[in-house]
Structure 1
Amino acid sequence: MSAAPTTERLIGIDALRGVAVLGILMMNVQAFAMVPGAYDYPVAHMDMSGLNAGVWAIGHTFFSMKFITIFSALFGAGIMLMVGESTDTRLHYRRMWWLFAIGMLHAYLLWYGDILVPYALFGMLAVKARFWSTGKLIIWGLALITLTGVLVIGLFHAVLAMKGFDPMILGVSEEIVAASVAANQAGYLTQLPDNALTAAGAQFASLLVFGGRILGVMLIGMALFKNGFLSARLKSPTYFAIGVPSLFFGLALSAWSSEHALASGFALDTAWQTGLSNYVGSLLAALGYAAGIMLICKSGWVSWLVQVFAATGRMAFTNYLTQTLIMTFIFVGAPGLGLFGTVERVDQAKLVLLVWALQLIWSPLWLSRFRFGPFEWAWRSLSYGRLQPMLRERS
């Protein structure tokens, strides 16, 4: 497979990327609005009853790990789309090094939950597998994903064996929560040291603990591009046959995970069971979501809406970073609003819906006049070493 022309757009990939970049915010908002430990141990911070518990359950069942999985797979597909089986990877490595630099700034100056750094580093590894067959990519991808699952469960039990079932291992004591809230509400500069420290820990975990899953999903994304799944080249009945059982079993596993976590009060001694079921369920659900989007793209249904999501996906880099800028302004103090620790999960979800609406509106409007999103243009210009044309040509 040769490298695709840079002017070629694949509407299915773009639309799926748009869905993914919006979907990840439904989970990320918790990490912007609350202490880091509350992401994995929700009872650690603010209310977890009534509607708030319902919002958490919806997020965990339908969003948790699903859209970041799609995003990772699309990153692998993007490698095949941009590089293909070309022997010249110089531009790819320049793109990855600039992505790494932007990710480091994003992580340490704005938000510790950055995904650009691990994507850049694993993107440098994944490109070496571009000549592999589809079967080999899938086998190695599944092996790495399985290895990561075993590693996480093993580390979890090792830590609990040493420290017991104590929420302190997640850094969610009352003192830590109070200090984190105070620092974030005080202002940007005040919370910067805590954010940097958390970013270092998050990068360690994403590279050494969860790295196998990230790289494994990228390899599977490369395989799904090669076999035509992510370019909507398969027949509609094939997407239907893949999507329905994947969604059913994937969401069933994640729903059980949500129900069990709530019923047990997020007990740490059984957290590995809820984590494992969602770990597997998220892979199946992500595949089902992707199959559904490809089916919609092939069918021609709501083509106008597909175009809106495709525009959002073509600006995924910009939309991802602007999500950080918006949420940082809302939740971190001066020069922001400093609402950290005061917005419950129900209202967090409302904020996410508002950002979705804004990005779905502004993305097609921007691309009607410009060739790239602003951050896409900057990344492209840095990678090529010269300013890229920005304005669309008009007849």
Structure 2
Amino acid sequence: MKITAEEFRIKQSGTLAEVVQMNMRSGLVDTCIFQVISGRLFITLGLFLMGLWAGRKRLFVDTPDHRQFFRQLLMWSGALAAISTGVFWWLTGGDIFAQLEGWTGVVSNTAFDVHQATLSAFYVAGITLLFWQTRAVLLHALVSVGRMGLTTYLTDTLFGVLVFLGYGMGQLGHLGMAASVGLGLVFFALQIPFSNGWLARYQYGPVEWLWRSLTYLKPQPWRKSRTDAVALNPQPLPPKARADA
């Protein structure tokens, strides 16, 4: 408890040096241990491999076959998510920290894992089909934010650090829940036009470009040519093909 109180004090009113020392002393170590014992490290690797496979298969390009695939995924993942969620709640009452023993614990943990995987698949399938079916303006606007995911994540982090931590505005523990969520939504809303404006001129977000350049050990082309714009924004299916789908 003393450690928790001290860490909260450092975050709320500590200097940048104190926060860095705290993160290096406990935060980084605890995070690495948690990544291993929780399986997150292996889950993250698996998700990277799934993304690589989906990209090479061009799974998110609108075609009749891909629509059928996502319809099936939506149906089966939704059914499994409902069943696994029901089993988990029945055994634990919805307490994700419940420590059950024996086969009851095995079943509840398995149900929770299936719930997470299938519900995620349900969301992916549903949003993909909605995007293809309606061509919603809001969903289109979010495409660029997703393509700049690392830049968006780090920018959000920087914004939160400057607002809440002690060497910024020090609002941790002072700003209420509703105000914090509202402030986060406003900042994210501002990132939408920024991301769209950036990717109208460049192929990658700034951090994505740096990461890609470090991966290939040489600077990558950054400015977007007309050919790049067409390749990165494939045209929707013609009306007849969309009707057949």
Regarding TM over 0.5, the answer is: yes
**1:286 Cα offset (Å):** 1.2
Matched, 1:311 2:138: no
Over aligned residues, Cα RMSD in angstroms?
3.5
SS of residue matched to 2:202: coil
User: Does the 8 A contact of 2:92 with 2:98 survive in 1?
Assistant: no
The residue that corresponds to 1:243 in the other structure is: 74
User: Does the 8 A contact of 1:232 with 1:295 survive in 2?
Assistant: no
User: Does the 8 A contact of 1:232 with 1:298 survive in 2?
Assistant: yes
Q: Check 1:259–1:321 CA distance in 2 against 1; reply closer, same or farther (3 A cut).
A: farther
The residue that corresponds to 1:206 in the other structure is: 35
Amino acid at match of 1:181: F
The residue that corresponds to 2:197 in the other structure is: 365
Q: Check 1:221–1:392 CA distance in 2 against 1; reply closer, same or farther (3 A cut).
A: closer
Aligned length: 219
SS of residue matched to 2:21: helix
The residue that corresponds to 1:329 in the other structure is: 162
Cα distance in 2 for residues equivalent to 1:195 and 1:228: 40
Q: Check 1:325–1:228 CA distance in 2 against 1; reply closer, same or farther (3 A cut).
A: same
The residue that corresponds to 1:293 in the other structure is: 127
Deviations 1:88-110 (A, max 9, x none): xxxxxxxxxxxxxxxxxxxxxxx
Matched, 1:193 2:21: yes
SS of residue matched to 2:32: helix
The residue that corresponds to 2:242 in the other structure is: none
The residue that corresponds to 2:99 in the other structure is: 269
**1:391 Cα offset (Å):** 3.7
The residue that corresponds to 2:188 in the other structure is: 356
Cα distance in 1 for residues equivalent to 2:157 and 2:196: 20
Map 1:222-261; keep pairs closer than 5 Å. 222-225=52-55, 229-233=59-63, 234-250=65-81, 253-254=84-85
The residue that corresponds to 1:33 in the other structure is: none
Q: Check 1:370–1:226 CA distance in 2 against 1; reply closer, same or farther (3 A cut).
A: closer
**1:228 Cα offset (Å):** 5.4
Matched, 1:180 2:2: no
**What are structure 1's unaligned runs of at least 5 residues?**
1-172
Q: Check 1:393–1:192 CA distance in 2 against 1; reply closer, same or farther (3 A cut).
A: same
Cα distance in 1 for residues equivalent to 2:127 and 2:72: 14
Map 1:22-61; keep pairs closer than 5 Å. none
Structure whose CA Rg is larger:
2
User: Does the 8 A contact of 1:250 with 1:285 survive in 2?
Assistant: yes
Q: Check 1:222–1:199 CA distance in 2 against 1; reply closer, same or farther (3 A cut).
A: same
**1:182 Cα offset (Å):** 0.6
Cα distance in 2 for residues equivalent to 1:352 and 1:251: 31
Match of residue 212, structure 2, among 380, 383, 387: 380
Amino acid at match of 1:369: R
Q: Check 1:183–1:262 CA distance in 2 against 1; reply closer, same or farther (3 A cut).
A: farther
**1:319 Cα offset (Å):** 0.8
Map 1:52-201; keep pairs closer than 5 Å. 173=1, 175-185=2-12, 186-196=14-24, 197-201=26-30
Match of residue 47, structure 2, among 217, 235, 245: 217
Deviations 1:46-105 (A, max 9, x none): xxxxxxxxxxxxxxxxxxxxxxxxxxxxxxxxxxxxxxxxxxxxxxxxxxxxxxxxxxxx
Cα distance in 2 for residues equivalent to 1:255 and 1:346: 30
User: Does the 8 A contact of 1:232 with 1:294 survive in 2?
Assistant: no
**1:325 Cα offset (Å):** 0.9
Identity of aligned residues (%): 23
Q: Check 1:238–1:382 CA distance in 2 against 1; reply closer, same or farther (3 A cut).
A: closer
